Amino acid sequence: MDIAEIKRLEAEGPGRPASKKRQQQVLKAFVYIFLMVGSFVMIVPFVWMIVTSFKPLEEINTYPPSFFIRKPTIAAYIELFSIIPMGRYFLNSLIVTCSITLANIFFCSLAGYAFAKHRFFGRDKLFLLLVGSMMIPWQVNLIPSFVIVKKFGWLNSFYGLIIPAMSGAFGIFLMRQFIMNIPDDLIDAAKIDGCSEFTIYRRVILPLIQPALASLAIFTFMGQWNNFVWPLVIVYSSKMRTIPIALSVLNGQFGTNFAMVMAGAVVATLPVLIVFIAFQKYFIKGIALTGLKA
């Protein structure tokens, strides 16, 4: 009970609080109902996805469509991993996503440190260029990037999938903002002790920006795992597909075997879900950060 409440109660007298309290209770109930209905709406498509993935072929297109499976089977999953090499696509996605995430953490924090704590010629202009570039829509550099990757011979390869994404303006921006908050004294102290720049980066900066690193890592991981357009454009042999591409291929190839398409969707969604639930805190903080900083 804070001062405002006490003052209000005193002003209102004994009769009013009861109705106000009831009003608040009704409001709360309304809120709960709203949120529960909303949650239900959010979850139902996922439940349908999981249910369909366990249905045998004859039950997929039944009328009426039902959430109950008469003869549940994992046939779709078995086919998914044996015929479609879903395992291979999973591995591809994992390699690509992890490499890009690691590279981003390293390169962006390095560059962020430079922009935050070093004074060098062209620093502010370059940073402005970086921030401005975030406004350029990806469609503008899609085609030339394709041609450049082709000229390097990187089409349809891990090089082409990973290298163009190894660093980004957004990551550098995020890192710089965070590093700017580190007191200069710490850095000066390290310099006096005779540490090289790289050692300062490794021993002083990195430990202090761990939350930001975690957020960047998760952002990058999510974004790259689900990335669709770039692999769509540069991958053309089935060996090099990533999971989103594999899903779209399933969508095309198995028009009637929806169990397999849904099973593919389950496999595509599960890792991201696990990472999210494990690192929820960092993720939500990270998004909030971008909103506030902008």
Partner 1 sequence: MNSALKEFNKQKSAYIFIAPSFIIFTVFLIIPVFASLYWSLTEYNILQPPKFVGFQNYINILFHDPRFWKAMANTVIFVAGTVPTSIAISLLLAIAIDQNIRFKNWFKTFFFIPSITSIIAISVIWKWLYASGKYGLFNHLLTSIGLPSVNWLGVTWTLPSIILMSVWGGLGYNMILFLAGLQGIPHVFYEAAEVDGASEWDKFRNVTLPLLRPTMLFVTIMSVISAFQVFEQVYIMTYNSEGAVGGTLDCALTIVAYLYETGFQRFSMGYASALAYLIFFILFIVTIVNMKIVEKKVEY
Partner 2 sequence: MHGRDIPIAIAKALVFSLMIFTVFCLAGCGKVPEEKKILMWLVGSEKQAQKITELGLDFYKQTGVKVSCEAISWGEAHSKYLTSVVGEVTPDIGTMGLTWGTEFGNLGAMVDLNREFPDDLSELTSSIFPGLAGSIRYNDSIFAVPFDMSEYIMFYRCDIIKEPPRTWKALTSLLSELNSSGRSMIIDWGGMGWIGYSPFLWQNGGDYYDKDMTSATLDSDKALEAMKFFTSLYKSYEVPVENRPVEQSFKIGEYPIFISGNWKMKSLSDIAPELKGKWAIATLPAGPTGKKTGFIGGRVMGIFSLSKHKKEAWEFIKYLSRPDIQIKLYEDTLESHDTYLPPNIKTWNLLPMEDSFKRPLLDQAMDSKGPPSVLGWDDSTRFIDTAIQLVVLKNKDAGAALKDADNELERRIRR
- Positions in the binding site for partner 2 (CB under 8 A): 57-58, 61-63, 83-85, 91-92, 95, 99, 102-103, 106, 150, 155-159, 162, 194, 196-199, 233, 236-239, 249, 252-253, 256-257
**Of positions 77, 224, 243, 282, contacts partner 1 by CB under 8 A:** 243
Does 148 bind partner 1 (CB under 8 A)? Our answer is yes
Does 269 bind partner 1 (CB under 8 A)? Our answer is yes
- The nearest distance, CB 153 to partner 2, in angstroms, is 8
- The nearest distance, CB 293 to partner 2, in angstroms, is 28
Does 101 bind partner 1 (CB under 8 A)? Our answer is no
Task: In whole angstroms, give the CA distance from residue 130 to residue 132.
Answer: 5
Using an 8 Å Cβ cutoff, are 190 and 200 in contact?
yes
State which amino acid sits at residue 177.
Q
The closest of 115, 136, 137, 135 to 126, measured between CA atoms, is 115
Does 180 bind partner 1 (CB under 8 A)? Our answer is no
Task: In whole angstroms, give the CA distance from residue 221 to residue 59.
Answer: 36
Does 115 bind partner 1 (CB under 8 A)? Our answer is yes
**Of positions 1, 18, 192, 294, contacts partner 1 by CB under 8 A:** 294
End-to-end CA gap in the chain? 36
CB-nearer residue toward partner 1: 12 or 189: 12
Residue 212 contact, options partner 2, partner 1, none, Cβ 5-8 Å cut-off depending on partner type: none
Residue 177 contact, options partner 2, partner 1, none, Cβ 5-8 Å cut-off depending on partner type: none
Residue 278 contact, options partner 2, partner 1, none, Cβ 5-8 Å cut-off depending on partner type: none
CB-nearer residue toward partner 2: 162 or 175: 162
Task: In whole angstroms, give the CA distance from residue 269 to residue 48.
Answer: 14
Residue 236 contact, options partner 2, partner 1, none, Cβ 5-8 Å cut-off depending on partner type: partner 2
Using an 8 Å Cβ cutoff, are 74 and 54 in contact?
yes
Does 68 bind partner 1 (CB under 8 A)? Our answer is no
Question: Residues with Cβ < 8 Å from 17, sequence gap 6 or more?
Answer: 9
Residue 287 contact, options partner 2, partner 1, none, Cβ 5-8 Å cut-off depending on partner type: partner 1
- The nearest distance, CB 8 to partner 1, in angstroms, is 6
Using an 8 Å Cβ cutoff, are 294 and 84 in contact?
no
CB-nearer residue toward partner 2: 257 or 269: 257
Secondary element (H or E) of residue 114: helix 86-117
Burial 12-37 (b: 16+ CB within 10 A, else e): eeeeeeeeeeeeeeeeeeeeeeeeee
- The nearest distance, CB 228 to partner 1, in angstroms, is 5
Residue 237 contact, options partner 2, partner 1, none, Cβ 5-8 Å cut-off depending on partner type: partner 2
- The nearest distance, CB 48 to partner 2, in angstroms, is 17
Using an 8 Å Cβ cutoff, are 103 and 162 in contact?
yes
Name the phi and psi angles at 290, rounded to 5.
-60, -40
Does 256 bind partner 1 (CB under 8 A)? Our answer is no
Place of tokens 């962020």: 112
Question: Residues with Cβ < 8 Å from 49, sequence gap 6 or more?
Answer: 262, 265, 266, 269
- The nearest distance, CB 148 to partner 1, in angstroms, is 7
Kindly report whether the peptide bond that precedes residue 64 is cis, defined as omega within 30 degrees of 0: yes
